Amino acid sequence: MQETTSKKTNHFSIGFYNLENLFDTVDDPETLDDDFTEFSDKKWNEKRFRKKIKKLGRVISNIGYRDIKHPPVLLGVAEVENAGVLDALVSSKFLKKKDYDYVHFDSPDERGIDTALLYRKEYFLVVKKETFTVYLTDEKGERDYTRDILYVHGMLEDQSLHILVNHWPSRRNGTRTTEHKRLAASERNLEIIERIYEEEVDPKVVIMGDFNDDPQSESIKRLMTRRFYNPMEVLLTKYEGTLSHKGKWHLFDQIIISHNFLLGHDNPFQYKSANIFSPDDIKEYKGRYKGLPFRTYGGKKYLGGFSDHFPVYSIFTVD
């Protein structure tokens, strides 16, 4: 918080973090979560779960802290199994005094992983929350289940804010082969955005998530109508991103904002900067993967890390 001559300007960070398979240890018969149980090949157990929760809480508490001396006021997350793991996260050692709550809905994803929005109750008030399904079909014409889009409308220090939290279909079966799925998710976001603009004049909108596509991918470019700006675009280089695959950096994790955040004059809610949060202590520190995100598992081998993604965040000022 910084003083000006006439009033206070509050600096806030808004972030996104793919938590890489944050599962509990209980087998859910309705989902494909068998890998994350005690008797699976990965030997996922309560000790490992608690260790991961504590580590993730420490990372979250430090996102943007060097910039503004506060953890994120809002944090979109992906790959969480249920409300129980979110309860454990917000009540963990490094977060319990930050007074986080969350918005979460179970989605139809076959593995049972969802998105959620963490928020600090002191600063953010939830006004409306709902999910929007992305309807996909596979090559046989059968329903292909994926994560819903989480929509939250709230008030940040008396400023209206609309947030869409995404986790788009993966590239696992090939980038080209799966591209149509991410294009469908992109179009679904645009449908939701149109509804927001019908209900509010000049709304402030944030689209965040693990898009499984880079800023220059067609699915992301379709989101970039005259209404939106992607500050994350300049962060992807051959030396830096949020995850790496086959020796190449990607920036699947992005926070896209409506253009009205950029207005300088008579604008009480302004965008200031965007960053990847990648301190050395959440990176692999040696070997062939040195410098990459320190993940929880390498295949079936337990490594004890954090996530296979780095978080991203943006700084805003609210007058």
Reported as a single tens digit per residue, the pLDDT across 136-146 is 988 788 899 99
Which comes out higher in pLDDT, residue 27 or 8?
27
- Cα separation, 210 vs 169, in Å, equals 9
Predicted confidence at residue 138, as pLDDT, reads: 80
Domains of the chain: 2-318 (3.60.10.10)
Mean pLDDT of the 294-305 span: 95
Band of residue 2 on the pLDDT scale cut at 50, 70, 90: very low
Distance CA 270, CA 42 (A): 45
pLDDT of residue 243: 98
Q: Give pLDDT, residue 3.
A: 33
Q: Is a pLDDT exceeding 90 seen at residue 313?
A: yes
- Mean pLDDT rounded to a whole number for the chain: 94
Mean pLDDT of 105-114: 95
Residue 11 has pLDDT above 70, yes or no: yes
Residue 5 has pLDDT above 80, yes or no: no
Residue 226: is its pLDDT beyond 60?
yes
Q: At what angle do helices 46-62 and 83-90 cross, to 10 degrees?
A: 60
Mean pLDDT, rounded, for 292-317 = 97
Other CB atoms within a 10 A radius of the CB of residue 41 amount to 10
The confidence score (pLDDT) of residue 8 equals: 55
Residue in the block written with tokens 């799925």: 181
- pLDDT higher than threshold 60 for residue 7: no
Q: Is the pLDDT of residue 130 over 50?
A: yes
* pLDDT for the residue 146: 95
Q: What is the pTM of this model?
A: 0.95
pLDDT at residue 1 greater than cutoff 70: no
Q: What are phi and psi of 107, to 5 degrees?
A: -110, 170
3-state secondary structure the chain: CEECCCCEEEEEEEEEEEEEEECCCCCCCCCCCHHHCCCCCCCCCHHHHHHHHHHHHHHHHHCCHHHHCCCCCEEEEEEECCHHHHHHHHCCCCCHHHCEEEEECCCCCCCCCEEEEEEECCCEEEEEEEEECCCEECCCCCEECCCCEEEEEEEECCEEEEEEEEECCCCCCCHHHHHHHHHHHHHHHHHHHHHHHHHCCCCCEEEEEECCCCCCCHHHHHHCCCCEECHHHHHCECCECCEEECCEEECCEEEEEEHHHHCCCCCCEEEEEEEECCCHHHECCCCCCCCCECCCEECCEECCCCCCCCCEEEEEEEC
As a whole number, mean pLDDT of residues 238-255 equals: 96
Say how many C-beta atoms besides its own lie within 10 A of residue 199's C-beta.
11
62-92 per-position pLDDT tens digit: 999 999 999 999 999 999 999 999 999 999 9
What does the pLDDT read at residue 93? 97
In angstroms, the CA 306 to CA 29 distance is: 27
Query: Considering the chain, what percentage of its residues have pLDDT values greater than 90?
Result: 89
pLDDT at 258: 98
Mean pLDDT of 207-222: 97
